[in-house]
Structure 1
Amino acid sequence: MTHDTLNRDGRPGCHGSGRCDNTRAEQFIRAVYDQHGAFLLRVATGLLAGDSHHAQDLVQETVLRAWRHADSLDPQAMGIRSWLGHVLRNLVIDGRRARRRRPPETTDEVLVELPVSDHTETLHTAKVVREALAGLSLQHREVLVHVLYLDQSVARTAKTLGIPPGTVKSRTHLALKALRTALAERGYVP
């Protein structure tokens, strides 16, 4: 007979094999990914200026942090998406701070710049846009992701980011202006 107990990390589990705890963990993680995984990946990719590999890592870390609070979070509840978004945003900010404190990382830019006969112009344009987006502040990129990429209303973006609608409008205006300037400096504005 098994009795509910607390595991070493303070989470509810089962005595003995741990099968009960593993099942609950798998169900929680699967539910979070099913309900919010695609949304989190879109937001992370936008905040990271298109770096999908790093975005996937941050989504995994966000879900892991949600799992640590599984006792108080419900994957089906509306409020969890906002909570997950804040965790994801904080991970992006923490990553930027950490990179500023250490030497630059090596990148695969050489691979991105390899010539491709039929998609060269598309790749070049995407690279220029990524560079222009990377030059924007996190707040500007964040609001552009929600308003333009995710096609959310000003009210929905304000609620998701936890800022007033007027701030969303002004940040969107300033972000678009900064993006136009960055693209113009690269010769890509009509």
Structure 2
Amino acid sequence: MTGMRARRQVADEALVRTLFAEHGKAMLGYATRLLGDRAAAEDVVQEALVRAWRNPDSLVNGKGSVRAWLLTVVRNLVVDKVRARAARPTEVAESPTTVPVARDHSSAVVDSIVVREALDGLSPEHREVLEQVYLRGHTVPEAAAQLGIPAGTVKSRSHRALRLLRESFGDRQPVGAA
């Protein structure tokens, strides 16, 4: 029985080699035209030949041409591949504008929490001055006009607020600070 099975396997391999020799170019051209991707087309042709190897009786049953059967298998595999792609979410390629996350952002989160806690320890007047000068980017005269206080007061409150922040940090600095 094993001798018969070995002969059958050799015959099947010869069949697949013959199929590829006779119809491989047509199958590859058809798959490439349908997919627009040579590598994907080669995969489809390989799968079609595997199916021919698994179902040799379908090729010799006398119903239509072998090439038509192979091209139908190729078309069905392409349709399956396209449907599978449509079922998955679209992959986003990396580009200079969409780069992957390069580092862990947890240190920035910790820094913002530490700074927020330190700012909460300041008086509202000191926070307002720092907000005007550092967050909004106003000059001292602009901040003074915005807050309705003299420019000298903006300078002294800013100086005092920064000194209090430094003291609240003590020996520890935010993680991102060097």
TM range (shorter): 0.3 to 0.5
TM-score (norm. length: structure 1) = 0.44
Higher gyration radius (CA): 2
TM-score (norm. length: structure 2) = 0.46
